[in-house]
Structure 1
Amino acid sequence: MKVTLKKLGLLAAVAFLAAGPALAGETTGITDDSIKIGVMGPFSGNASSYSKAEIGLMAFYNMINEEGGINGRKLVAIQEDTACDPAKALAAAKKLIHQDQVFMLHGNSCSGAAVSIKPDIVDAGLPWIVAHAVSDTISTPPTRNIFHGVPTGDTNGEAMAAFVLSKPGAQKIAIVEHSNDWAHSYTNPARAYLKAHGVEPVLELVMERGQTDATAQVLQLRQAQPDFIIGALYEAETAIFLRDMKKYGLETPVMGTAGTDLENTLKRVGDLDTVKNYFVLHPYVDNLDGPRMKKWADMIHKYYPDEELTNFSYISIGSGIALVEALKAVGQDLTRSKLIDALDNIESLDTGILSAPVTWSADERRGVKGSAVAGFVDGKPTVLKAWATAYE
């Protein structure tokens, strides 16, 4: 694991010294031997499978604590359920900030929920590392205390479109999506990428969250005969869509988002033939069961022995590694402002788990600017960098 911390400029150092004692609240949630961190996730509801991201993160905290913590302090996670609902997320954030008085926030699945709490977190000023939700509006334009630790919608959308166009002869592209901000965070940058490469979607369809039948969409797609379909659908709707594609004999390849994974989608649909042409964003260095991921799988199972691992189980760990590097850089005299400055100076951090490094700066808080893709090749999940080209 390699990391470079950019040196703080002389002016920044002078400004820091001139600021005098830490402002009120700068050390909220810190004791001599602990750092209290608020971890929000959808631990209930129909998007609860995404909470595996937070479970993986807490397993990472446990590993760090078992190794002695950071500068003598253990990471203490205070969990709150958002149920992937904006109103519940806002209540959870307020509780963590004002009642539990955490030092920082880390985690968050579901972009709609994350966007809803952004104004309160900006006002509160505590550090927030977003470790799963992908909407660019969470960290763009840059806000001093908010950091994205995963590929965002723009990065993901561009990666999806680039993979689609890497298939020889792919020119007729269709889009099927939910009508929410989460889906748009993928499809809008995908559309922009397609347009920049001279391609306009031949068909754009909506399939709403909670919809239990995709017959109408599939029949329209069968008539349009696209070369590739970009699908921005949650897990449940993805399974329904793929099953209906098989039902009506539509074998067009589908490019899915980071909101699904191959293994879990296969379990939902029940047979490999239904998902043989399904591809998803895969932000990791290896297959989930590959040798470079074994360390992380073993870590999660050490603390959560019965946990069923999916693509989501690992997504927050990279940002956890970045947090630990920043905390180490700050040292014992920890404050919120010093942590923010240290996070802001993480550069080219190879986490050993994400397929792209982490870099933050004052002008760019979207820290991960790349993603691989995964699909079934000869019946086995395979990491790809382009159509029929394995990731190395």
Structure 2
Amino acid sequence: MTTLETPGPTIGVVGGGQLGRMLAEAAAPLGVELVVLDPTPDCPAAPVARDQIVADFDDEAGIRELAARSDVLTFEIELADQMVLDRVSEDSGTPVHPKPSTLETIHDKLVQKRELADAGIPVPPFRKVEDADAVRAAIDDYGAPVMLKARTGGYDGRGNVPVESKDEAEDALESVAGPAMVEAFVDFEREVSVIAAKGDGEIATFPIGENVHEAEILRETIVPAGSIEAVTEKARDVAADVLDVMDGRGVYGIELFETTDGEILLNEIAPRPHNSGHWTIEGAQSSQFEQHVRAVLGWPLAATDLRAPTVSKNLLADVEEPRDAALCGVDRILETPGANLHWYGKRQARPLRKMGHVTLTARGDESTDGLLETARGLVASVTFTDE
């Protein structure tokens, strides 16, 4: 039986970016407090979290302090160190969810793909590459283009480089600058994602979203996706199989390809709330952030039904050089019925940095096409420059 007291439980979060900020916003109505650890003083989560420990993501002393102040530890960024988390958890008795073993699997994309393929989860053809000749051999076998991926350190599209021809192989490897793998390029109908929560003996999945990327950066999410029901059912099945492989409670962002012949292939997994799930704050009965709070605490999961068709569009900094963050001309967004503005509180705008997002939910019989057109117009009406 779950009992609420004051003060309530405390979740310690490694990372204090926008995901930590939205976790704290979702935790407060449940009587749950957050302490975040982040190297950036006054990080985006700081204004809404209980407290911030200023320390690097792998700072063992800082994480030990975080564990001492928390009932459970989690993370909102893959740069958390699984070995440090494992040691601290064992010494302190403070559990970590998702488990450090899951973070270890996720950290190396080659290990991740091998483990998932071994579990029978459909993935694109892939292989380890150590030099440009290996990339060229992959092009011979898979055809061009192929996707070269940094095995470690990349997330949210970072470290992914499309290789259009053999002539580009060497430069692509140099840009990745470390251990790499290559995947066959998928001829997809659409990119979709399932936000799935793994609780204490239960799972819950949100309606499937359709994602639009440009230059490997997520720009838009449309819910419901344009997939037919048979395909969405396959996506849910793959997501459930992925959760069987992952160890520990929490929300997982599961990115998928829907192929032109209606099959589903796994792209990547994020063991945390995901950019493609931000729409859930306004568009679903519960948000991915509330679900993560509930899951890591071992509380019952909430309903995930769609409230109304919803689109989400990222606000990316349209600057050429770093500068103080200031978003000009937000009045139109604030005045638009059904529009919701989320500002992440980052102090510096950098080229294409995610600074916030805008969500639009349908009012009446509005279509997702109409919502998306409106969202694009709203985002186009604002700027981070004063020119």
TM > 0.5 between the two? no
> Which of the two has greater strand per residue?
2
State the TM-score, normalizing by the size of structure 2: 0.39
Normalising by structure 1, report the TM-score.
0.39
Q: Tell me which of the two structures has the higher relative contact order, counting C-alpha pairs closer than 8 angstroms and 6 or more residues apart.
A: 1
